[in-house]
Amino acid sequence: MAGNTETPPGLEALANHLGYTFVRKETSSSTSSNAGDPVANPEPPKASSNEATEKRDTTKEPPKDDVPAGSLTSSANIYRNSPEDSWTAKEPENTEPAEGKDTIGHAVVLRQQKSKDSRKGYEIHSIVIQSSALKAALGEILEGYPGVFCNLDRLVFKAPFAPFIHRWGAILEYLERDDLDSVTKSHLGLLSDILQKELADTIKALQDYVQNGVVTYEHAWTVFQPGAVVLSSSGIGEQVALRLKSASYEKSDDDGNFFGLKCQCVNWNGKSFGWSEEYVKLPEFEGIQPITELRILPLAFHPRKEQLKLVLIERGKRFAAVSGCHYRSYDGPAIERTQDGNILVHNKGRIVIDTDSFCKQPMQCKVYTVPLNSKVKGSVTTSDEPTNEDDGHWNPPSEFDNEQNTMLSLREKSGSKPAKLSDNQYMLCTPILRGYSLNTKKWLSFYIDYVEPIKWNTNAFERLVLPAAQKKLVLALSKTQAATANKFDDVVAGKGKGMILLLSGPPGVGKTLTAEAVSENMQVPLYMMSAGDLGTRPSSVEYNLASILELVAKWKAILLIDECDVFLEARSIHDMDRNRLVSIFLRLLEYYQGTLFLTTNRVDNIDPAFQSRIHVHMKYPDLTTKSRRQIWENFVGQVPSHFKASELDELAKVVLNGRQIKNLVKTAQLLAIEDQKSLSYEHISMVLAIENGFKDE
């Protein structure tokens, strides 16, 4: 391109940056096609040292506009005086550091800023502690206060100086010590005078509130010291002790203005104890309120704090005693998690306390904890304005003696026992347990105060109307399987370790009662599985069945599949869904390691492949007159009644099964209650007459 004298983009700037200059060749008629191109002179012109420095100083001479963005190995400075100002490339005048040789010798440096209060010209923004003696004294005074480390080289406290407010009494007590050296006493006295002047209104208000046991919403932060124990209420109104981590005034559309407290309690995450986070709110209130009437209050202000401490410690010990996996009885409120949030329900019956399994369920909240030896870190914010301070958040990280038999995870040997808690940690234990309700078949959160030991029905097995040899066989197999689980193995490891018993016979002859009586005798849970627990699609059936078998084996429970022919009916070439269902059962039950009871009144319909997997098949015949008499005697003996032997003999002649006899006794008992009499033969005869009338029709 002859005659082109334009400089290639960026080349001249790059040469200047490297200390070179451009020399252009003069053009002529005989010049080659590139004669007009500039060339870099390999020998830079003579220049003074100052000039050369200026050429290389990119912070003073910004790069040219045609330099590609971010291509230079250099930095640039821009400036502003305050957050309200705009950034500029020109350095402002008179910007020498405020802290330097003129302030370094002072024990305390006060950073003053323009006050928003029209009564003040300036107010203290922050205090810098420079005295090593004063740092040492504050280290003792503020020991244990969250978020304060007095051994830092640069120790800064920002308004509103919550640590000084909360430990004001400790500061005054420290000044009265006789063992203080003159430097410490004078420097601490200086700080005390500064605080008294700056925080006079707040200190006076706090002293007045504490003396009278009252507080305003505006000054509520003054009585809530981080690290202190506060009392809140659970969903059912019982008191809960929490360790305060941080607090701030906040506002939301749903709750309006409130004082939010981020707290911690001792919780069990399924493996170990730790601190879990709880967030509670103190709603805004008008005027002056007694501290003891607040929804949330410091434990120190409770009128019966010592008695309450003992109650909370005892409750915490009961909570810690059921860490792990336990079988208990429950009658009280429980928390159910639904798609619309948590709801309060009433639960009555047997439960399994198992936080570890609870946390693995898809719909349930995980229990995140931090180690108990971690120190609380937090703060108190007295306004809802954003700050640059640490917000106090922490990130959640990404276990046959009749008394001991209710701790269910006997097959899982824990590497170490849970750490023993201190009385203070017992006091701070949450009252909420997590587990499974065997009656409702739901994962729920339970309250420790409603958990009770199980009252076992020790007569259930004795009252089971079966031949003695048959009863002995069932019980012996079940107990031996539980005691020697996992010892016998198949050719393939882990296969065929369970014990499967099939109980077949007509309805109401005691098949289901056999499994129930065995579980009562062994004092282990009984998990009754039905079609509704598994779903209808093969994929959901496989997942749900595998989950149930895993839980039952972990809890060392007895699994009962009532009317098992629904699941195990013989396969056919015309029903592929049923074939898949049966195949899933055959495969999963092959690896089940517990005791399984199957009941059916249609044994001929069970798939032949499954019959080969049954260890014991027990057939239940129709009830005889003798067995019916025993059943009548068992049921009427459970309620206030008066029967002659001849009357029981007469009732035994009526052809009924055990379930029908039970229903008759229950109905007749209601008649007896209405008549305000004991159950008698006349009441039974009346109900029988009504039943026979329906049959005749």
Same domain, yes or no: 631 and 561: no
Tokens linked to 689 = 């007459």
Residue 9's pLDDT band, with cuts at 50, 70 and 90, is low
Average pLDDT of the residues in 26-51: 45
pLDDT at residue number 484: 63
pLDDT at residue number 58: 45
Q: Which residues touch 9 (CB under 8 Å, ≥6 apart)?
A: 66
Q: Which residues touch 233 (CB under 8 Å, ≥6 apart)?
A: 239, 240, 295
Look over the chain and give the mean of its residue pLDDT values, rounded to a whole number. Answer: 80
470, pLDDT greater than 50: yes
pLDDT at residue number 20: 58
Same domain, yes or no: 186 and 42: no
Same domain, yes or no: 406 and 535: no
Domain for residue 208, yes or no? no
Inter-residue contact 558 to 518 (CB < 8 Å) = yes
Q: Secondary structure of 310-377 in the HEC alphabet? A: HHHHHHHHHHHHCCCEEEEEEEEEEEEEECCEEEEEEEEEEEEEEHHHHHCCCCCCCCCCECCCCCCC
Residue 35's pLDDT band, with cuts at 50, 70 and 90, is very low
Q: Which is it for the CA torsion 647, 650, 652, 655, positive or negative? A: negative
Domain for residue 310, yes or no? yes
Specify the amino acid at residue 466.
L
Question: For 380, which DSSP code?
Answer: E
Measured CA to CA, the distance from residue 544 to residue 558 in angstroms comes to 17
Q: What is the pLDDT of residues 484-509, one digit of tens each?
A: 654 545 444 555 577 888 898 888 88
Average pLDDT of the residues in 337-348: 90
pLDDT at residue number 261: 94
Residue 468's pLDDT band, with cuts at 50, 70 and 90, is confident
Measured CA to CA, the distance from residue 164 to residue 197 in angstroms comes to 13
Same domain, yes or no: 586 and 523: yes
586, pLDDT greater than 90: no
Same domain, yes or no: 673 and 585: no
Domain for residue 300, yes or no? yes
DSSP-derived pairing of the beta strands 432-437 and 679-680: unpaired
Same domain, yes or no: 291 and 419: yes
Alpha-carbon 469 to chain mean position? 50
Same domain, yes or no: 269 and 300: yes
Domain for residue 203, yes or no? no
Measured CA to CA, the distance from residue 432 to residue 424 in angstroms comes to 18
Domain for residue 391, yes or no? no
Beta bridge partners of 289: 215
Beta strand residue intervals within 195-255, DSSP E = 214-216, 229-233, 239-252
CB atoms within 10 A of CB 420: 9
357, pLDDT greater than 80: yes
Burial 20-48 (b: 16+ CB within 10 A, else e): beeeeeeeeeeeeeebbebeeeeeeeeee
Q: Cis check for the bond before 160: say yes or no (omega within 30 of 0).
A: yes
Between 592 and 455, residue with greater pLDDT:
455
Question: What is 498-513 written as a DSSP string?
Answer: SEEEEEE-STTSSHHH
Same domain, yes or no: 114 and 138: yes
Count of alpha carbons within 13 Å of 189, Cβ hemisphere only?
A: 10
Residue 473's pLDDT band, with cuts at 50, 70 and 90, is confident
Q: What is the pLDDT of residues 56-111, one digit of tens each?
A: 444 445 555 577 766 676 767 777 777 777 888 787 776 667 777 777 888 888 88
Domain that holds residue 580: 468-619
Same domain, yes or no: 442 and 380: yes
Inter-residue contact 527 to 549 (CB < 8 Å) = no
Q: What is the pLDDT of residues 630-679, one digit of tens each?
A: 999 989 888 888 888 999 999 999 989 889 999 999 999 999 999 899 99
Chain position carrying tokens 């009924």:
656
Chain position carrying tokens 């059936």:
541
Same domain, yes or no: 315 and 280: yes
How many domains is the chain partitioned into structurally?
5
Measured CA to CA, the distance from residue 524 to residue 407 in angstroms comes to 9
Measured CA to CA, the distance from residue 215 to residue 220 in angstroms comes to 6
31, pLDDT greater than 50: no
CATH number at residue 685: 1.10.8.60
431, pLDDT greater than 90: yes
Question: Has this prediction a pTM greater than 0.75?
Answer: no
Average pLDDT of the residues in 205-226: 88
pLDDT at residue number 376: 57
Inter-residue contact 347 to 334 (CB < 8 Å) = yes
Measured CA to CA, the distance from residue 187 to residue 178 in angstroms comes to 15
Domain for residue 26, yes or no? yes
Same domain, yes or no: 362 and 438: yes
Same domain, yes or no: 169 and 126: yes
Beta strand residue intervals within 592-693, DSSP E = 595-600, 616-619, 641-642, 679-680
Between 217 and 533, residue with greater pLDDT:
217
CATH number at residue 504: 3.40.50.300
Task: Provide the percentage of residues in the chain whose pLDDT is more than 90.
Answer: 31
Domain for residue 222, yes or no? no
Residue 147's pLDDT band, with cuts at 50, 70 and 90, is confident
Task: Provide the percentage of residues in the chain whose pLDDT is more than 70.
Answer: 79
Spatial CA neighbour of 533 closest among 436, 600, 596, 442 = 442
Domain for residue 338, yes or no? yes
pLDDT at residue number 286: 92
